[in-house]
Amino acid sequence: MSALISVRGARKSFGSKQVLAGLDLDLAEGESLVVIGGSGSGKSVLLRAILGLETLDSGQVLCRAKPMQGRVRDDFMDSFGMLFQNAALFDSLPIWRNVAFRLLGRMPAAKARALAIEKLDRVGLGPEVADLFPAELSGGMRKRAGLARAIAASPKVIFFDEPTTGLDPIRAATINELIRSILDESGVSAITITHDMTSVRTIADRVALLDHGQIRWQGPVARMDDAKDDYLRDFIAGRARPMARNTEPG
């Protein structure tokens, strides 16, 4: 069966800086892929390119072997959820409207609200949170609300952009476990970008390491610790490397 998402020969430069250098990557149906890589290695550019928010210089993104354009992209976007870095909630909307944002055009408000409360419950937030505003929530609660929004429309694929940024280790572990349990129970496909190795170990089925605009290493998370790749080993161990190992290609 063809992959849900395939990136083929993706190249992207900003001025003289090459960020993607002929990158190939696949996401299988039902798989949780975590993309790791140093700061500035191009993880966000890759995510944006998959969503069609960044035009590639060359190469392409395919959805089930069809170019991610027109109707194919529209259908993909309809079946897609995203947890943004820092949750990115709308400050002027109560939590339930944030969670139900994509549902409100599709169903009566009362039904959307009920669904939002159900999704909030799934991420461990009680109904009393529904009418609060984002500023009244802690960072961990905002992240949970962002997660409730990501799953609200029962997506077939979810992108997680740095899901644990800004959280203490205990709250980060809780969010990672929540994400993993949601993936397990729903069978949804997922791409996560992160530098947090605890996220990798909890969320990933498969790991891809981005370096110099290409996938330097990829494999099942269970094989990551035995991998011979020296950069991956340093990345996992959090070891400093000489500046010569510049993660910024070009």
Contacts with ligand ATP by CB under 6 A lie at 14, 17, 19, 37, 39-45, 195, 248
Provide the minimum distance between the beta carbon of 15 and ligand ATP in the complex, in angstroms, as a whole number.
Answer: 7
Q: Report the alpha-carbon distance of residue 57 to residue 75 in Å, rounded.
A: 24
* CB 11 to ligand ATP: min, Å: 13
100 by DSSP, 3-state: which?
coil
Q: How far is the CB of 173 from ligand ATP (least distance, A)?
A: 20
Minimum distance between the CB of residue 109 and ligand ATP, rounded to whole angstroms? Answer: 36
Report the residue number, 37 or 81, with the smaller CB distance to ligand ATP: 37
CB of 52 to ligand ATP, least distance (A): 15
- Nearer to ligand ATP (CB atom), residue 39 or residue 244: 39
For residue 158, which of 181, 179, 189 has the smallest C-alpha distance? Answer: 189
Q: Which residues contact 97 (CB under 8 A, 6 or more apart)?
A: 90, 104, 116
- Rounded to the nearest 5 degrees, what angle is found at the Cα of 123, between the Cα atoms of 119 and 129? 75
How far is CA 7 from each of CA 12, 45, 240, rounded to the nearest angstrom? Answer: 12, 13, 30
CB closer to ligand ATP, 111 vs 245: 245
Which CB atom, from 43 or from 212, has the smaller least distance to ligand ATP?
43
Classified as helix, coil or strand, 166 is coil
Instruction: State which residue, 75 or 248, has the beta carbon closest to ligand ATP.
Output: 248
Token pair in block for residue 110 = 């009362």
